[in-house]
């Protein structure tokens, strides 16, 4: 079983719809992150959370919201989807500590028509 699980893996929806992407982890990490990746580009940080009561905006948070329901669960919502939010979305986790890498889920491919 994957340590970081994202659902759904693929989603096609229409402009204006509300969408929730879910992420759960079994690694026991406190820190969780949501990124989007557009073709040919790197990962851009949307939101991150260092524990259940901590939520922080990343570089591109407009149009997105998140909820940290438990240590193991971090969901990303698009309240009213628009076509330029079409992208590959990754959830990641990391342990605390300076040299701890991030561990990524398999991604959610989201298309908004």
- Interaction between residue 99 and another protein (CB under 8 A): yes
Work out whether 101 is an interface residue with another protein (CB under 8 A): yes
Q: Does 44 bind another protein (CB under 8 A)?
A: yes
Nearest to 31, CA basis, from 65, 74, 61: 74
Query: Which residues are registered as beta bridge partners of 99?
Result: none
CB closer to another protein, 1 vs 14: 1
The DSSP bridge partners found for residue 22 are 7
Residue 103 binds another protein (CB under 8 A)? yes
- Pick out residues in 16-35 that bind another protein (CB under 8 A): 31, 35
- Which has the closest alpha carbon to 88: 17, 24, 19, 10? 10
Nearest CB to another protein, comparing residues 64 and 107:
107
Handedness of CA 39, 50, 17, 82 (dihedral sign): negative
Interface residue list for another protein (CB under 8 A): 31, 35, 40-45, 48, 50, 56, 58-59, 90, 94, 96, 98-107
């Amino acid at each position: 079983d994957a340590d970081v699980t994202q659902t759904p893996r693929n989603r096609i929806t229409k402009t204006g719809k509300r969408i929730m992407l879910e992420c759960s982890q079994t690694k026991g990490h406190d820190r969780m992150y949501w990124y989007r990746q557009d073709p040919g580009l790197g990962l851009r940080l949307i939101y991150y959370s260092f524990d259940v009561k901590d939520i922080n905006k990343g570089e591109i948070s407009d149009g997105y919201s998140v909820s940290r329901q438990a240590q193991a669960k971090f969901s990303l919502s698009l309240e009213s989807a628009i076509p330029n939010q079409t992208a590959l979305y990754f959830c990641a986790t990391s342990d605390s500590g300076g040299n701890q890498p991030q561990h990524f889920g398999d991604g959610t491919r989201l298309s908004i028509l």
